[in-house]
Amino acid sequence: MDESEKERWIKAGRIGKEVREYAVSIVKPGMALLDLARNIESKFAQLGSKLAFPPNLSINDTAAHYSPGFDDQIILKEGDMLKIDIGASVDGCLSDTAATVVVGEDPSPLVNASREALENVIKIMKPGMSIDEIGETIERTIRGAGFSPIVNLGGHGISLYNVHEGEFIPNVNQQNGKKLRMEGVVAVEPFSTTGNGYVIDSSSGEIFMFQSDRNVRDKTAREILEFIKSEYKTLPFSRRWVVEKYGRVANYALDVLTGNKALYRFPVLKEESGGNVSQFEHTFLFDRGEVTVTTL
């Protein structure tokens, strides 16, 4: 990795950290989730970065992929367990980072379990290491605190304009013998829950991603698809962003483009037994044998 690219990865991590800390600092009971998302988006712009993906603001038993739409009515309540999962894009060099807040209250033991699991991974992280060892560390920490790790969510590799690429880094020891990459970027994200430890698709979400070129008859849908490819490339984006540019006609276009598989629509993920979910996440850069936690 040349120095100029490395600097962009590190800048993306630094911005991701700053926005994560800002978001955590402004959360309060009575706040509209949509306002929080817009504040996060404005902060990224203020710091000179695009978003790697729409702000994931998932509450209680919702584990991931909830991002408020243009007409979202959710208001944060005291005691809500809010996952803030965000990332920066600096010329396609990305960060991915998350923290959990108990709205209006101190962190709970469940929150501390996922945070401590990530801290324990940081202590052992090195290029080319056993992925099983990472999963074992996360699982041991979370189960030791009396909770369950989510077995079908986990960390992942990252590459230019690609938030999920390469290896999957589970929150348990799957005993598959796989190794981390020696060079490049990965994210680790321990999820802990009071439930059974398994997430399921619950509803269609507000997050989309370009999937493949398709023949599109509708003129507006064709125009919107070209905009998506130019503006977001292969990164996830929010329905709200497209509606704000094109108006409500974009809703029909996005449905058409999803139906013919030009776009992929992310499902909202919930813990199947209704357990609360906590998440923390950092991005790790491997370069010439050294490890940099870009979002720390």
Please list the alpha-helical segments (H only) found in the chain. 3-26, 33-46, 109-124, 131-144, 219-231, 239-246, 249-259
At residue 208, the pLDDT reads: 98
pLDDT in tens, 108-147: 999 999 999 999 999 999 999 999 999 999 999 999 999 9
Active-site annotation holds for 132: no
- Which amino acid is residue 295, in one-letter code? T
Pairing of strands 93-94, 154-158: unpaired
Among 41, 61, 80, 85, the one annotated catalytic:
85
**What is the sign of the dihedral through the CA atoms of 135, 137, 138 and 142?**
positive
> Which regions of the chain are under pLDDT 70?
none
208, 237 contact by CB (below 8 A): yes
Burial of 154 (0-12, 13-18, 19+ CB in 10 A): buried
At residue 1, the pLDDT reads: 85
Q: How far is CA 248 from CA 241, 253, 255, 259, in A?
A: 11, 9, 12, 18
Q: Which residues contact 63 (CB under 8 A, 6 or more apart)?
A: 83, 150, 153, 191, 193, 199, 269, 270, 271, 277, 279
Among 80, 156, 271, 282, the one annotated catalytic:
156
Question: Minimal CA–CA distance to 86: which of 284, 282, 289, 294?
Answer: 282
CATH C-level class of 206-268: mainly alpha
Joined together, the tokens standing for residue 137 give 């560390």
Q: What's the whole-model pTM score?
A: 0.96
At residue 147, the pLDDT reads: 98
Joined together, the tokens standing for residue 55 give 């702000």
Among 41, 61, 80, 189, the one annotated catalytic:
189
Residue 98 CB: number of other CB atoms within 10 A? 26
Helices (H) and strands (E) in the chain — how many of each? Answer: 7, 18
3-class state of residue 293 by DSSP: strand
Active-site annotation holds for 80: no
d(CA 182, CA 167): 12
Active-site annotation holds for 2: no
At residue 229, the pLDDT reads: 97
Residue 269 CB: number of other CB atoms within 10 A? 25
Q: Cα 149 to the chain's mean position, in Å?
A: 17
At residue 132, the pLDDT reads: 98
Active-site annotation holds for 65: no
For the chain, give every domain's residue range: 3-200+269-293, 206-268
Among 72, 136, 164, 165, the one annotated catalytic:
164
Among 61, 116, 206, 281, the one annotated catalytic:
281
Correct CATH for 3-200+269-293 of 3.90.1300.10, 3.40.50.2000, 2.40.50.180, 3.90.230.10: 3.90.230.10
What percent of the chain is modeled with pLDDT above 70?
100
Q: Do domains 3-200+269-293 and 206-268 have the same CATH topology?
A: no
Tally of residues, the chain: 296
Among 61, 96, 206, 271, the one annotated catalytic:
96
Joined together, the tokens standing for residue 187 give 């994210």
Joined together, the tokens standing for residue 76 give 């944060």
At residue 27, the pLDDT reads: 98
